[in-house]
Amino acid sequence: MESKSAAPDYELPDERELTSPAQVRAIAHPDRTTILGLLHERAATVTELAQALGRPKSSVAYHVQTLERAGLVRVVRTRRVRAIDERYYGRTARMFYARIRSANDGQEMPLDFNDFEVAARESQTAFVDHALWSLIRHARIPQESLADFWMSVVKLVQEFDRLPHSGDTTYGFVVGAYPIPGYPALPDTHSE
């Protein structure tokens, strides 16, 4: 029988804002994104992460150190194995997010942080295999309504994050809202 435990196997806060360009750059690398995804399931050693990624241990150790320096992962426990302390790394939050900052803040975020680009790459096989579940909708709404709606989306993402991890298939879940310049709109109707 499969084990269905709450993920991950260590305590962490629900969310953390990325406040520096270095943090965004750290999370933008595909291997580091995958490492963060794996650590969402449970804490892991560099050896376990290297095995899961099929990458050299030295390369994975470099990526883990980069994430640790950026404050995105931390050692959550250690275990003594043959006179050596084995470190288990975990995320520092379930969800990381970045706010768009203007140049007036003095901190411009890199432009290569695009979850949709990653999702498009990851979903190609599922699309070909007719195993892709997706929806897209367009709505002309005020920004305040979008902000309220987005909070309910964040709750849904948190619910997805807390699902028990089991089974043989990993699923991606991507959401977003973005302005579409030039999208056609019907004229407003006026009561006469």
Mean pLDDT by 10 residues, the chain (192 residues): 58 84 85 89 93 94 96 92 88 79 51 65 83 80 86 84 80 83 73 52
Domain boundaries, the chain: 15-161
Q: Is 72 within 8 Å of 36 (Cβ atoms)?
A: yes
Secondary-structure class of domain 15-161 per CATH: mainly alpha
Write out the two tokens for 90: 């975990």
Contact by Cβ (8 Å): 64, 108: no
Run of H or E residues at 23: helix 21-28
Q: Can you tell me the distance from the alpha carbon of 9 to that of 157, in angstroms, rounded to the nearest whole number?
A: 19
Contact status, residue 8 vs residue 36, Cβ threshold 8 Å: no
Which of 13, 28, 68 minimizes the C-alpha distance to 46? Answer: 68
Best CA proximity match to 73, nearest among 99, 96, 47: 96
Q: Which amino acid is it at 42? A: R
167 conformational bin, left if phi > 0, alpha if psi -120 to 50, beta if neither = left
